[in-house]
Structure 1
Amino acid sequence: MNNGEYLHWQSVPTRWKDNDVYGHVNNAVHYSLMDTAINEWMIRTAGFDPLSSDPIALCVESHCVYKAEVAFPDTVELGLRVGKLGRSSVRWEVGLYRGSDEALIAEGYFVHVFVGREDRRPAEIVDPVRAEMQKLLIA
């Protein structure tokens, strides 16, 4: 899927356990999917190692607006972009689309602040992480 609004795409299958008593993927799963897409991109594309990198990225804010349902078995297509890139923070924007019909199911964002692993004080986003983030930055 590529609708042009997002610069990186990841496909994630729903799991049997994702459905709740109402028969659709529970809202908490949407946050988990967004967090997974962001961190997988940071690890695989930007070379970020959550076990040894310094600084580390902590989520300080998150938000999600639900637009439609999705249920197992289906796939969620996650579009990722950077909405704002600061000295020590980044706002990730994520669109979640139902794989079976490409309907928008949710839009959300995560704000990461990079901090020193030991002192937890704000720290500059280092290259190559910043350089890769700039490739996802929207105008």
Structure 2
Amino acid sequence: MRESYRHWQRIPTRWADNDVYGHVNNVVHYAFMDTVINTWLIASGLDIHEGAEIGLCVESHCNYRASVSFPDALDAGLRIGHLGRSSVRYEVGFFREGDDDVVAEGHFVHVFVDRTTRKPAEIPAHLRTAMEGLVVT
């Protein structure tokens, strides 16, 4: 399963991520997905402060396979399952550090829009080129 992801980022859990049941709360996984996606986008040239286009999340989902707890570190694998004209579906798999079993997997769909009008806009060419390297079929 790890081999199907194209980009990796290690994400440490924090003490505050655990809930009263002693595991990382489900909403934290969404924040982790948002972090790995946006870290990759910024590194790939998305100007989050002044760029003409921005990506808005229009859909997100997560399946939980096993619980994790602080102080676990997670390896977040990122790939792209669909790349459209103005939209992209990122897929993220979370694995315990050094483990091959997925503990959670989810997706985010971004629609790129004009920063001012909020109308759909083409994914900028330099980002599309970077995204093509993450596409899996």
TM-score (ref. length: structure 1) = 0.95
Q: Tell me, yes or no, if the aligned pair for 2:2 and 2:100 is still in contact at 8 Å.
A: no
Provide the residue aligned with 1:30 in structure 2.
Answer: 29
8 Å contact kept, 1:74–1:100: no
CA contact (8 A) 2:78 2:93 kept: yes
Alignment of 1:1-139 (within 5 A): 3-44=2-43, 46-99=44-97, 101-139=99-137
Q: Point out 4+ residue stretches in structure 1 off by more than 4 angstroms.
A: none
Partner SS state of residue 120, structure 2? coil
Moved more, 94-103 or 120-129: 94-103
Could you give the per-residue CA deviations for residues 85-123 of structure 1, whole angstroms, max 9, x where no partner exists? Answer: 000000000001112644311110000000000000000
C-alpha spacing 1:112/1:58, structure 2 compared with 1 (3 Å): same
**Whole-angstrom CA distance in 1 between matches of 2:87 and 2:103:** 27
Gaps of 5+ in 1: none
* CA apart distance, 1:54: 1.3
Is the 2:23–2:69 Cα contact (8 Å) retained in structure 1? yes
- Structure 2, unmatched stretches of 5+, are none
Moved more, 74-83 or 102-111: 102-111
Quote the sequence identity (%): 57
Alignment length (residue pairs): 137
Q: In 2, are the aligned partners of 1:75 and 1:100 still within 8 Å (CA)? A: no
Q: CA RMSD in A?
A: 1.2
